[in-house]
Structure 1
Amino acid sequence: MCSTAVFFGDELARYGFGGSHPWGTDRIYAFWSRLQNEKIANIVIEQPEITTEEAVLSFHERNYVEMVKMVSKQCRSIPLDRGDTPSFRGIFEAALYVVGSTLAALDIVMQGRDSAGRKIEHAFVPIAGLHHARRDSAGGFCVFNDVGVAIIQARKKYGIKRIAYVDIDAHHGDGVFYEFEDDPLMFFADIHEQGIYPGTGFVSETGKGEAKGAKMNIPLEAGSNDSDFVRAFTKIQEFVDSCRPQLVFLNCGADSIAGDPLTDLRYSAHAHGHAAQALHDLAHKHCNGRIIAVGGGGYNRTNIGAAWTEVVKALAI
């Protein structure tokens, strides 16, 4: 019987910002507490892994990576963007653990087993999905774009060509969208709240050049609920099915659930379970079950636990 890998460890908690910043180091523990209470069968816990600078450079520009390394060694906080993403001592290594854990999930899913020899089809990395980071800059609490790196490594290491990336975080995944906007075999679908940060992801944005039609953006109005989500997600299911992916990524940001302090969507955790279940089924139809879910955003700790646990439940069937 195959299992779902769930990454958990203090190393992932290092990626968080102090004070009253919404992305605190406690986010992973809110999920972990809820997951343990659910007692879900058929999951295995994997330790976080750190990656190399070389792997990060497959996506990010060297000057930017060097800048992150520099500020990481300093004791004072220096903003890495316009102010939303502060630095802290050790942020470089913390970000390497995020990327490394997503890459470890990629290896496990592609190889069908972990280093202990346990058979695994799916993976979930809670502190990951840093979808606002661009090749040359940070943004929206995101330093290194772990999925961006993983997409490149999936092609370089495993020869994967057709990749589907689905994002249900309340914020548009601009760092993934624009960096692969002209890639005809990276199929992108994003449901997000209209009019909030980063202010991108219009319906008219469907890809450039040969990639036109390989991208789908669905902005929803503030106050949209589960019914609105399910109706929109039906379009994404049809889109992903038609793309026949060889690998599926799901960014399941919990900031789209009612009660998040930064957004105004009104989903329940059932929306996340619905999306994960639908993509789980499509992954089994097209790519031997190869699906990797990443936590993304979410700033209400109760919502984080509920949404991400629903995703793990759906994958662990």
Structure 2
Amino acid sequence: MKFGYREICLEHDTGSRHPESPDRLRAIRRALDDAEDIEYVAADAATKAEVASVHADEYVRSVRQFCADGGGNWDADTVAVEETWDAAMASAGLAAWAAEAALDGADGAETPFSLGRPPGHHAVADDAMGFCFVNNVAVAAERALSERDVDRVAILDWDVHHGNGTQDIFYDRGDVYYVSFHEEGLYPGTGDISESGDGEGEGQTMNVPFPPGCGDADYLSVYDTIVEPEFEAFDPDLLLVSAGFDAHEQDPISRMLVSTGGYGVLAKRLADFAERTDAPLAFVLEGGYGLETLSSGVREVHDVLGGKELADVDTEPSEDGRNVRDALVYQGFGPQ
């Protein structure tokens, strides 16, 4: 794969006890050390105008000044230092690069994957939260919509937390279809099935709040029967994945049961959809706080898209998974 990576992203120092640490990127790099067909790309940082295209001007100015003044605790979870501004701009630029590379034809074993931090999907239009300052995937989507021959972008967010920021930014827009797989009741407490878009975006936000204990078969069942048909009807010109790996069965902060192999199977489903519908595919790193589970998940995606045989994962959804699928149908999603 082509991996977007910048050393400045290591300079966003959250402290020795914070789960979103520079060690996350270091662990991924170590896991990829012996992988074949790896290319690292140090893409340009996002511009202030690109960030302001999805965030309020006053908020962007406030974050920049907060970092220039030395940073600190923006809130209880979201920490900055002076270098955080540059890291956040680099992370957003890497995400935008991933979208651009996909649109330029990088696919298969060269599918682009942005390895930036801080992550982004909790950053709403006018505030930072949940470790996130700039919504990276939103910057990527907006650049594609503004500067390329792209009319519609689909986003699948498989991070274990609801991507409230991405939802907030695109909730009333008709050119982005946002789907979030997340653990029900987990931070930030948003992402109910009933939150499905407004105005021109009505019906183009799909929240899939899985009860704790759901795993591979539940994710794949909802993807196969609900998400893929919805994406196919939407007919996206670009498909982006907010790829957090904290729904892993061994992640320390969630109660989900997705396996390393399950992430690979889901990534292959998306790659097959992208190839069949001519919708370029790119991945943008979000969460994942067990270093082993995070790094093995990224490596699995790389290996599978490079041709590795898929893992043999469970395909029979649990009762909870079936109930979620039925609730989505009742809400009006999927084939009726």
**TM-score, length-normalised on structure 2?**
0.85
Counterpart position of 1:250: 241
Q: 260, 267, 273: which one pairs with 1:282?
A: 273
Q: Give the stretch that moved more between structures: 143-152 or 101-110.
A: 101-110
Cα offset, 1:221, TM superposition:
0.8
Counterpart position of 1:11: 8
Point out where structure 1 has 5 or more consecutive residues left out of the alignment.
none
Cα offset, 1:120, TM superposition:
8.7
Cα distance in 1 for partners of 2:127, 2:305 equals 33
Point out where structure 2 has 5 or more consecutive residues left out of the alignment.
308-336
Residue identity matched to 2:66: V
- CA root-mean-square deviation: 2.0
Cα distance in 1 for partners of 2:264, 2:143 equals 28
Confirm or deny: 8 A CA contact 1:12 1:48 kept in the other structure.
no
Cα distance in 2 for partners of 1:171, 1:78 equals 24
Q: 88, 96, 102: which one pairs with 1:103?
A: 96
Counterpart position of 2:114: 125
Counterpart position of 2:65: 70
Counterpart position of 1:35: 32
Q: 144, 161, 164: which one pairs with 1:171?
A: 161
Confirm or deny: 8 A CA contact 1:15 1:98 kept in the other structure.
no
Counterpart position of 2:50: 55
Cα offset, 1:176, TM superposition:
0.7
Correspondence list, 1:229-248, <5 A? 229-234=219-224, 235-248=226-239
Cα distance in 2 for partners of 1:109, 1:155 equals 14
Confirm or deny: 8 A CA contact 2:4 2:94 kept in the other structure.
yes
Change (3 A) 1:246 1:16: farther
Aligned residues: 305
Confirm or deny: 8 A CA contact 1:248 1:292 kept in the other structure.
yes
Cα distance in 2 for partners of 1:239, 1:271 equals 21
Cα distance in 2 for partners of 1:291, 1:217 equals 21
Q: Deviations over 1:166-196 (max 9, x none)?
A: 0110001111112111112211111100001
Confirm or deny: 8 A CA contact 1:112 1:120 kept in the other structure.
no
Q: 204, 216, 219: which one pairs with 2:209?
A: 219
Change (3 A) 1:285 1:142: same
Residue identity matched to 2:93: G
Cα distance in 2 for partners of 1:119, 1:307 equals 17
Seq. identity, %: 28
Residue identity matched to 1:176: T
Cα offset, 1:35, TM superposition:
1.5
Residue identity matched to 1:280: A
Q: Deviations over 1:69-109 (max 9, x none)?
A: 1121223x4322x3110121211111011011112222222
Pair 1:94-2:94 in alignment: no
Q: 291, 299, 304: which one pairs with 1:301?
A: 291
Correspondence list, 1:150-189, <5 A? 150-189=140-179
Cα distance in 2 for partners of 1:119, 1:314 equals 9
Q: 197, 204, 212: which one pairs with 2:194?
A: 204
Q: State the secondary structure of the residue aligned to 1:254.
A: coil
